[in-house]
Amino acid sequence: MIPGAGGDAIFDGLPVLIVTGLHQEARIAEGHGLTVVCSGSSPRQLRDHMSGFDATSVRGIISFGVAGGLDPALRSGDIVIATEVVTSATRFLALTPPQDNLATLQVGRRPRIVTAALAGSEDVVLGQAGKAELRARTGAVAVDMESHIAAAYAEDNNLPFAAVRVISDPASRALPRLAMDALKPDGQVDVWKVMRGIALNPLAIPALVSAGRDFNRALRSLSGCRGLLLGESAGRLVGANF
């Protein structure tokens, strides 16, 4: 788990808890007034951490990071502000900021910004068929493995909740299994494991290159979303008066 570090935001009172899945996401989110946790893309690890977290130490929760695309219209780098988080068992409502707040996001190329449902999953949804089935079942436009856990914790502890997610692998593209298998528990990539996997299966290279491009594009958009975690913007996401 990665604690928050210094930054340029100034908050009155309690910090906002930022829940991420990957080391790169956590690094983007770090800042003064923000407490950041990273699951290492492990729902179990995130639940273990949250079970011992002091809910009275934060004023709200934002799930922040990349997501897998379910809506074929969304491309890598497009931004999803969750209206709700859907699982097979329940739905959790999420707070959304005013549209003029979204219009000020400092991103490189102009991505699509949508407010829609996110799906929460315990496992990585790798293939196109699995993504299509999940979209048909939930109506969600994207999927990640942290938002449903953060949303459940927020509901259980009467905390406001929001989710900001950026599409990495679009619905039309399968995420290479090797890319997920190489993740370390802290959310960083085991480069040597990737290299060994390529040596065993050189045909995986094109898919890995495409996935890397998608991921880097998503991280650039995510960096532009960081303003939603700061100051008044974060207050609008998780409840300014909470």
Q: What is the CATH number of the domain that holds 150?
A: 3.40.50.1580
* pLDDT surpasses 80 at 16: yes
Q: Is residue 196 part of a domain?
A: yes
The pLDDT-based confidence of 202 (bands split at 50, 70, 90) is low
**Confidence at residue 1, expressed as pLDDT on a 0 to 100 scale:** 34
The pLDDT-based confidence of 9 (bands split at 50, 70, 90) is very low
* pLDDT surpasses 50 at 7: no
* pLDDT surpasses 90 at 66: yes
Beta strands (DSSP E) in 127-186 are 142-144, 161-167
Q: Is residue 34 part of a domain?
A: yes
Q: Is residue 8 part of a domain?
A: no
The residue segments making up the domain with residue 49 are 16-238
Three-state SS for 36?
A: strand
Taking the C-alpha atoms of residue 92 and residue 147, their distance in angstroms, rounded to an integer, is 10
Mean pLDDT check: name the lowest of 34-43, 80-89, 90-99.
Answer: 90-99
Taking the C-alpha atoms of residue 173 and residue 72, their distance in angstroms, rounded to an integer, is 10
Structure tokens at 39: 């699951």
In the block, tokens 């739905």 appear at: 91
Percent of the chain whose predicted confidence (pLDDT) is above 90: 52
Mean pLDDT check: name the lowest of 55-69, 147-161, 184-198.
Answer: 184-198
62 closest CA partner among 41, 35, 39: 35
User: SS in 3 state form for 158-169?
Assistant: CCCEEEEEEECC
Q: What is the mean pLDDT of residues 95-111?
A: 63
| Structural domains counted in the chain | 1
Spatial neighbors of 46 by CB under 8 A, at least 6 apart, are: 19, 21, 37, 39, 146, 149, 150
Mean pLDDT check: name the lowest of 56-60, 91-95, 136-140, 238-242.
Answer: 238-242
**Confidence at residue 3, expressed as pLDDT on a 0 to 100 scale:** 35
Q: What is the model's pTM? A: 0.81
Is 160:238 a contact under the CB 8 Å cutoff? Answer: yes
83 closest CA partner among 117, 35, 33, 119: 117
Q: Is residue 4 part of a domain?
A: no
Structure tokens at 233: 């913007």
Mean pLDDT check: name the lowest of 90-99, 120-129, 130-139, 195-204.
Answer: 195-204
Q: Is residue 6 part of a domain?
A: no
Q: Is residue 5 part of a domain?
A: no
What is the enclosing helix (H) or strand (E) of 219? helix 205-224
Q: Is residue 2 part of a domain?
A: no
Q: Is residue 11 part of a domain?
A: no
Could you tell me if residue 146 is left (phi over 0), alpha (psi between -120 and 50 degrees) or otherwise beta? alpha
Mean pLDDT check: name the lowest of 44-58, 96-110, 116-130.
Answer: 96-110
Is 83:117 a contact under the CB 8 Å cutoff? Answer: yes
